[in-house]
Amino acid sequence: MRAVTATDFGGTDVLELCDVHMPIPGDQDLLVEVHSAAVNPVDFKIRRGAFRDRSQLPMVLGFDASGVVCAMGQRVEGFKSGDEIYVSPSLVRNGSNAEYVCVDARTAARKPRCVDHMTASAMPLATLTAWEALYERTSLERNETVLIHAGGGGVGHIAIQLAKLKGARVLITASRDESIELCLGYGADVVINYVEEDFVKRVLELTNGRGCDVVFDCVGGEVFDRSPACVAVNGRIVTIVGSSESSALRDLFVRNITLHFEMMAAPTMYNINPQKQGQILHEAAKLVDDGKLAVHISQAFPLVELAEAHQLQETEHVTGKIAIQVR
């Protein structure tokens, strides 16, 4: 079959049209006759070597597909030959820039009936990304405010629609006229031209200084780094890129991790739901009285010896707690 393969990691000159063997479906696979594929930023990232340790050369890129099922493995359920399906092929197998592709049947679905293969093929990766980010990771809720960076992009313009379907207020960053128009057309409430104005300042203005509930970052780098400043206390950020500066954060991305910051003083500092802390302490007191929770005090000081207590705490080798007797 015909395919475009990447013969090496590098620029677009590594892409080569050639004849390759037909892929053979595994037990859970569909063999799909590809009608249309789509391009995503991940294509050029992998081409440049982003998953170098997981990619075998030569490789076929293409992580969106719409086409027709023509064969399948013996454990596949719910599909038959001739079904028109759309799917995002695995990043670590050969993709859809070819006449045929094998995909895990469980990750595929029948394509929307009212659109053609080309339109259907433009959807899977961006839709899965936006859906998982807004509906699963951050659990965006009705009447919350979400800021979507790069609303006019592949993921962004799907995200606008999903956020509006949920009943959220949608703020967008975009700069080109074409993008701005697209975002407004898909229902964005406010488009912030980040080239002409400071998006942090504008988001704070638009939310009475509170910040938005959710930031969906499809850009990364400086945009990621500046996003915490425009999220509300207790808010959520979801990024599909991550900060460039820390390898720990890159690890978090590849493993799809959620990182929580626990700042127990937030309710009292910002006066947000302070009664929750009274409730927790009430529950904890019951556990103590039931013999289910205990605290370990390794040393106690009178108030006049507070400095000594601080010095001990500063060793960072305190077992359990240090108490201060006031009376």
Site string for a second copy, 56-85 (x = CB under 8 A): -----xxx---x------------------
> Does 223 help bind a second copy (rule: CB under 8 A)?
no
Q: How many residues appear in the chain?
A: 327
Exactly one of 59, 69, 133, 163 binds a second copy (CB under 8 A); that residue is 133
Cis amide bond preceding 23, omega within 30: no
Exactly one of 140, 158, 163, 188 binds a second copy (CB under 8 A); that residue is 158
In angstroms, give the least distance from the CB of 197 to a second copy.
19
Whole-number Å distance between alpha carbons of 96 and 192: 35
Which tokens is 181 given? 């128009």
> Does 47 help bind a second copy (rule: CB under 8 A)?
yes
In angstroms, give the least distance from the CB of 188 to a second copy.
13
Task: Enumerate residues 84-123 that contact a second copy by CB under 8 A.
Answer: 86-92, 96-99, 104-115, 118-119, 121-123
Whole-number Å distance between alpha carbons of 296 and 319: 8
Which tokens is 124 given? 């899977």
Residue number, 56 or 247, with CB nearest to a second copy: 247
Task: Enumerate residues 242-281 that contact a second copy by CB under 8 A.
Answer: 242-243, 245-249, 251-269, 274-275, 277-281
> Does 238 help bind a second copy (rule: CB under 8 A)?
yes
Give Cα separations from 158 to 76, 170, 202, 313 (angstroms). Answer: 30, 12, 23, 51
> Does 179 help bind a second copy (rule: CB under 8 A)?
yes
Whole-number Å distance between alpha carbons of 52 and 68: 31
Which tokens is 9 given? 């990691």
Find out whether 148 and 186 touch, Cβ atoms under 8 Å: no
In which region does residue 140 sit, left (phi positive, over 0), alpha (psi from -120 to 50) or beta (all else)? beta
> Does 7 help bind a second copy (rule: CB under 8 A)?
no
> Does 316 help bind a second copy (rule: CB under 8 A)?
yes
Whole-number Å distance between alpha carbons of 55 and 14: 14
Q: How many residues bind a second copy (CB under 8 A)?
A: 165
> Does 23 help bind a second copy (rule: CB under 8 A)?
no
